[in-house]
A and B are shown apart, each in its own frame.
Chain A
C-alpha cells in the first residue's frame, strides 16, 4: 500500500509517480 495524501481542499490534478 502506498500512502498518498488526502487533502481537505479540492484538488485540480493529482499525479503520482513511482520512482
Chain B
C-alpha cells in the first residue's frame, strides 16, 4: 500500500511538472 501511495505521489508530481512545461510550449503552437 505504501508503494502504491508513493507511486501515486510521483505520478501526480510528474504530471504537474510536465503540464507546466507543456503549457509554455502550447502557447507557441
Chains A and B form a bound pair: no
